[in-house]
Amino acid sequence: MNRAFHTFALAPVQPDLLPVQAGPPVLRTTPISSSPVRRVDPVGRVWSDLDTTQRSMLAVHGAILLAVTYHGFRRNHDSIGWALVWSLGGFLCPTVTMGFAMTQGFAKPQSKEA
């Protein structure tokens, strides 16, 4: 037997850490939704902390990200690799990447001659 496990198994139990139940078990009579336990919703909390300008900029950034990903996919003849490269550019610097996409002709396939 592992010595570390053996010493852990023989460690004394602290009485204040044991669950204590006083009296008979209590049956819940209230609905679960009114319980004092609060649900964790990190996305909703972050979204509610943003003001209208920040929300709109986040939506525009997401739309540009989708647009440049589509452009990279169509521009390079349905290449998922290039779509990922364009999406990385759209994530890091969305306005410049969208400018490049518009300059190249949005979602216009690149000629095979080059």
Per-residue CA distances from 38 to 26, 28, 34, 41 (Å): 21, 17, 10, 9
Residue 88 tokens read as: 């990385």
Instruction: Give the domain range for residue 66.
Output: 51-108
Number of domains, the chain: 1
pLDDT digits (tens, 9 = 90+) for 61-101: 999 999 999 999 999 999 999 999 999 999 999 999 999 99
89 within some domain: yes
34 within some domain: no
pLDDT digits (tens, 9 = 90+) for 28-43: 565 555 555 566 666 6
101 within some domain: yes
11 within some domain: no
20 within some domain: no
Tell me how long the chain is. 114
21 within some domain: no
Three-state SS at 97? helix
12 within some domain: no
d(CA 47, CA 49): 5
Report the predicted TM-score, pTM, of the whole model to 2 decimal places: 0.58
Q: Is 88 exposed, middle or buried (0-12, 13-18, 19+ CB in 10 A)?
A: middle
